[in-house]
Amino acid sequence: MKRIVCLLSILSLTGPGLASAAGEPEPPKLLGRTTVEQLREQPFAEWFETGYAGYTPHAGVLDALRRAAPADLRVTVFYGTWCGDSRREVPEWLKLFDALGLSLDRVELIGVDRAGGALKRSPGGEERGLEIYRVPTAIVRRGGTEIARVVEFPVLSIERDLLAILEGKPYEPNYAAYPVIRRWLREGLLADPNVSPWGLAGEVRHVVSGEGELGAAARVLQERGDTAEAVKLFQVNCAIHRDSAACHERLAGALLDAGDGERARKAAERALRLNEDPAKVETLVELIERSRGGDS
């Protein structure tokens, strides 16, 4: 099975004949279980080697990390070779692991996609059940137990964040709503039609950094076919950002996917009322028209 997944990683290099959503050729990308050796090959080496060479872990923090790192430390890094944040952070993570002497059998690199229907997903499905909403996401484990995550970028620096995690200090990663969303999913709250999105909004309103935080997670749910959960999370986002045209437009699209044309139309009409971008008017009018025929 491992050989099959590795082969998928190699075959997932997108060739120049495949087009992106914008109609341009999709740059090559690594998907699935990948290796440092693959990242050191072109075209990835261009950004990987630059980032690796440009990062020097803080010596004092590194010494403390060596003392704090347990023998059963494991780190899984979900990333995208197409993602600017991954291109910045992943070389630094790997240089830190090298400086710590962390053997590569304790580091797992998983490349995920951004294509429609495969958003934040890998061919081998390693992300299943882990709720990866943004990349890079580094999952820190002791043995097989997750103890913390560093999401997209560190709070301070990767070495200081990792030290706080390993020393058991209070650590709250970026996008503090994501652990709450994972709990909602475990408890079935997002799938329950009787659960109020306004009540859920009150639970996370104080920690949400912006409308993109919940929107990104809802989009992942929508793309993988968890339509009811995506709709509820888009509703939560609209409850928090009630004057955002973009939030209501995304909710309308999710409701349309769910076959609820009437509510989709109302959400699209609200998006149109709130919209201040003339370039978006035609798109929103089309969404309203599609919603009128969207009940199933």
- Tell me: cis bond preceding 179? Omega within 30 of 0 counts: no
pLDDT for 25 equals 72
For the chain, the average pLDDT equals: 91
**φ/ψ (deg, to 5) at 109:** -110, 125
**pLDDT tens, residue by residue, 87-127:** 999 999 999 999 999 988 899 999 999 987 899 999 999 99
Is the pLDDT assigned to residue 294 strictly greater than 90? no
**pLDDT tens, residue by residue, 35-91:** 999 999 999 999 999 999 999 999 999 999 999 999 999 999 999 999 999 999 999
Is the pLDDT assigned to residue 13 strictly greater than 70? no
Residue with tokens 């919209």: 275
The residue length of the chain stands at 296
Beta bridge partners of 50: none
**3-class secondary structure, 194:** coil
User: Given CA atoms 224, 216, 120, 154 in this order, what sign does their dihedral have?
Assistant: negative
Q: Which two tokens stand for residue 163?
A: 């030290």
Question: How large is the average pLDDT for residues 17-45?
Answer: 82
